[in-house]
A and B are shown apart, each in its own frame.
Chain A
Amino acid sequence: MAVLTESAPAAAAAPTPRRRRSYRRRAGNVVRALVIAAVCVVALFPVYWMVLSAFQPEGKTLSFPPPIIPRGFNSSALSQLFADQPIASWLGHSVFVAIITVAITLILASFGAYLLGRLDWHGKLAFGLLLLFTQMMPGAMIIVPELQFYRSMGWTNNLPMLAVLYAAFNVPLGSWILKSSFDSVPNEVLDAGLVDGCTRMGVLRRILLPLSRSGLVAVAVVAFFGSWNDYLFASALITNRSNYTAGLGIATFISQQDVPIFELQAAGVIFSLLPVIFYMAVQRYVVRGLTAGAVKG
């Protein structure tokens, strides 16, 4: 009962309920902090292992039992990775595809958000349901007809057309995210714009979009994720190794035995950097958008 010796004599004789409760609360907080720390360790162990196995000297991760703490540091995996494998060009493809996806998604999602939130028109309900359904539908359900369609148009192995497809899957979610951003612009601002002679298109361009910069960033990040992380469509539509995106390229190494594990892990770490950084920057908008604004992030 350390707290009793610290407190004033009167209180030590008869500790008030309040003081006893604060002591218990403090002890509870310590336990809680320890549990949180333990959860973090368990949850992040695979992330630690991913980074560790990329930068350990060759062979260390392969011994049994494997070491838990790092033994030495080896950055040769990185240099070797870019020397041996077409990883650099695949990463370039991924960036290229992501930029096109983000650009198309931003333009169409700003129309979509305007239509969902601030404009009044017939068919809004059907439009919202259509977007929601597109967002919820598993990609595998249309992979076959999509491939047939792309083949008939000669769009296979075509990175810009792959990006267009990604955009089609990201416009709905982007519209919902941006709508919740548009909703937070006060009505008076819009009315003032109209009174001052803005057209409705001008309201979107001069008022809503400039006031929704954070929402636009969130949409950009979501679209970036959608294109960066995809394996399903890339594996079906891109068959030419020289046209691979980075995710597809790294995934094909899984079945090949000739790439050293630490090199593969280094590729994985490089591939993860951009998404993790972007996500950290905008996490609350992403969460809000994924539930279509029902939950305040």
Chain B
Amino acid sequence: MTQVLKAGRERAPGQLGRRSTAGSKPRLSPNWLPYLLVIPILAFEGVFVLYPIVKGILTSFKSQALGAQNSYTFSNYSRMVDDPVFWQVIRVTLIFTAGVVVLMLVVGLIIALLLNWSFRGRGFVRGILSIPWALPDIPVVLTFLLMADPNFGIFNRMASWLGFGHHNAFFTSPHLAFASIIVLTVWKGFPFYALITLSALQAVPDELLEAARVDGAGAIRRFRSVVLPSITPTLCLLAVLAFIFSLQQFSLIYLTTGGGPGNDTTTLSINIYTQAFQFFNYSYASAIAVVGLFLSIIGTVLFVYIERRVVASRR
């Protein structure tokens, strides 16, 4: 992205641009090529992504009632603001997102610190630890539903070992369902965060660490004063990505809890889906989706902003 942001202002050498080939072979280096190549992509994304976004925004301003479908109204938005379920959904989304962001970063950092050490078989360990991330969602859901079964699941056996009783219904009981989807999401996603944190750790200059060691800094002091400051930009970037991925999360939640019990695990994505496909409130679902679009725009802007800092810090 930074390269893109810079490109508007200065031209990097080797770029096939107006200047680099000016006067050399005008017939063979047409200036219109970029504008030609961008057409198929814009057409493609325009038809299948941008047009539906615009259509959805328009739908959100239309009434669901028969006969009133050609006039525009704010009724969906006023309904949304008055709907306690909507505010619960926002709360669930924010708590889920915050929980996932924090846990992902902490788990990812711990595993990255463990792996930031050259030992035989490191590539192998890194590879097998990535398996949860590489698995498709649906088999993961099947397995966790099996493991969490209140009657014969392995999780209940472990819970009774630890003295939490058995017959816990992890995905359907009010207290456990929310924690369960967070654990499931973190288990499924941690390898990505661990791998990226690891690559940030490996970019910390050895000279700095050695200098700190010579100055008598212990392991904890070295981590706090040298390692942590140099990986903070990457951790910020990962936090934004975790925020975006949590907003995108659908199948892990929908196929385990379905948003329940009550609306305890209904995030924005789940809410849109159930409003549209269980209650057939298309225009109300579209209004909720507009809120989600705003959140994802905020996420994208934060990503661009922080990524520029990460790249700058690497120079």
Pair B114/A200 contact, Cβ less than 8 Å:
no
- Flag whether A137 is at the interface (Cβ < 8 A): yes
- Flag whether A27 is at the interface (Cβ < 8 A): no
CB distance from B197 to the nearest CB of A (A): 9
Cβ of A231: which chain B residues have Cβ within 8 Å of it? 137-138, 250-251, 254-255
Cβ of A55: which chain B residues have Cβ within 8 Å of it? none
Indicate which residue in B128, B137, B154 contacts A44 across the interface (CB closer than 8 Å).
Answer: B128
CB-contacts of B1-45 with A (<8 A): 1-5, 7-8, 11, 13-21, 24-25, 28-30, 33-35, 37-38, 40-41, 44-45
Given contacts A145-B52, A165-B48, A272-B135, contact A291 B296 (CB under 8 A): no
Pair B40/A108 contact, Cβ less than 8 Å:
yes
Pair B49/A43 contact, Cβ less than 8 Å:
no
Pair A149/B143 contact, Cβ less than 8 Å:
no
Pair B138/A271 contact, Cβ less than 8 Å:
yes
A197 to B25, CA, bound (A): 8
Indicate which residue in A146, A187, A254, A297 contacts B255 across the interface (CB closer than 8 Å).
Answer: A254
A33 to B52, CA, bound (A): 51
The CB with the most chain A CB atoms within 10 A, among B21, B56, B139, B299, is that of B139
Cβ of A250: which chain B residues have Cβ within 8 Å of it? 138-139, 142
Pair A287/B251 contact, Cβ less than 8 Å:
no
With both beta carbons as reference points, the residue of chain B lying nearest to A229 in the complex is identified as B136
- Flag whether A13 is at the interface (Cβ < 8 A): no
With both beta carbons as reference points, the residue of chain B lying nearest to A133 in the complex is identified as B300
A150 to B248, CA, bound (A): 21
A47 to B127, CA, bound (A): 14
Interface 0/1 of A134-160, CB less than 8 Å to B = 101111111111111100000000000
Cβ of B286: which chain A residues have Cβ within 8 Å of it? 144-145
Pair B157/A194 contact, Cβ less than 8 Å:
no
CB-contacts of B183-242 with A (<8 A): 187, 190, 192, 195-196, 199-200, 203, 234, 237, 241
- Flag whether A99 is at the interface (Cβ < 8 A): no
Cβ of A44: which chain B residues have Cβ within 8 Å of it? 128-129, 131-132
Q: Which of B66-74, B81-89, B174-182, B269-277 contacts A (4 or more CB under 8 A)?
A: B269-277
Q: Which of A1-9, A72-80, A275-283 contacts B (4 or more CB under 8 A)?
A: A275-283
Cβ of B138: which chain A residues have Cβ within 8 Å of it? 229, 231, 247, 250-251, 268, 271
- Flag whether A14 is at the interface (Cβ < 8 A): no
Pair A146/B52 contact, Cβ less than 8 Å:
yes
Pair B296/A199 contact, Cβ less than 8 Å:
no
Cβ of B129: which chain A residues have Cβ within 8 Å of it? 39-40, 43-44
- Flag whether B100 is at the interface (Cβ < 8 A): no
With both beta carbons as reference points, the residue of chain A lying nearest to B56 in the complex is identified as A145
CB distance from B124 to the nearest CB of A (A): 10
CB-contacts of B39-80 with A (<8 A): 40-41, 44-45, 47-49, 51-53, 55-56, 59
Given contacts A40-B128, A61-B152, A251-B138, contact A46 B147 (CB under 8 A): yes
A143 to B55, CA, bound (A): 11
- Flag whether A294 is at the interface (Cβ < 8 A): yes
Indicate which residue in B157, B237, B247 contacts A138 across the interface (CB closer than 8 Å).
Answer: B247
Indicate which residue in A61, A140, A194, A251 contacts B29 across the interface (CB closer than 8 Å).
Answer: A194
Pair A132/B56 contact, Cβ less than 8 Å:
no
Indicate which residue in A108, A164, A295 contacts B237 across the interface (CB closer than 8 Å).
Answer: A295
- Flag whether A23 is at the interface (Cβ < 8 A): no
CB distance from A189 to the nearest CB of B (A): 9
Chain A contact residues: helix, strand, loop or mixed: helix
- Flag whether A35 is at the interface (Cβ < 8 A): yes
- Flag whether A36 is at the interface (Cβ < 8 A): yes
The CB with the most chain B CB atoms within 10 A, among A47, A119, A145, is that of A145
Indicate which residue in B30, B136, B244 contacts A228 across the interface (CB closer than 8 Å).
Answer: B136
CB distance from A186 to the nearest CB of B (A): 8
Cβ of A128: which chain B residues have Cβ within 8 Å of it? 1, 4-5
Given contacts A63-B152, A125-B5, contact A50 B139 (CB under 8 A): yes
Pair A268/B268 contact, Cβ less than 8 Å:
no
- Flag whether A171 is at the interface (Cβ < 8 A): yes
With both beta carbons as reference points, the residue of chain B lying nearest to A297 in the complex is identified as B199
Cβ of A118: which chain B residues have Cβ within 8 Å of it? 14-16
Interface 0/1 of A115-132, CB less than 8 Å to B = 111111101110111111
- Flag whether A290 is at the interface (Cβ < 8 A): yes
- Flag whether A238 is at the interface (Cβ < 8 A): no
- Flag whether A265 is at the interface (Cβ < 8 A): yes
- Flag whether A178 is at the interface (Cβ < 8 A): no
Given contacts A32-B114, A49-B146, A294-B307, contact A114 B15 (CB under 8 A): no
CB distance from A195 to the nearest CB of B (A): 8
Apart from the given pairs A148-B59, A187-B13, A251-B138, 5 other A-B contacts in the complex at a CB distance below 8 Å: A137-B296, A140-B272, A144-B59, A231-B250, A295-B200
15 contacts across the A-B interface (CB closer than 8 A): A61-B152, A65-B157, A68-B154, A115-B38, A118-B14, A119-B34, A124-B7, A129-B4, A141-B56, A144-B56, A183-B3, A194-B24, A280-B134, A283-B130, A296-B203
Listed in ascending order, the chain B residues whose CB lies under 8 Å from chain A are: 1-5, 7-8, 11, 13-21, 24-25, 28-30, 33-35, 37-38, 40-41, 44-45, 47-49, 51-53, 55-56, 59, 111, 114-115, 117, 119, 125-147, 151-154, 156-157, 160, 166, 187, 190, 192, 195-196, 199-200, 203, 234, 237, 241, 244, 247-248, 250-251, 254-255, 268-270, 272-273, 276-277, 282, 285-286, 289, 292-293, 296-297, 299-300, 303-304, 307, 310-311
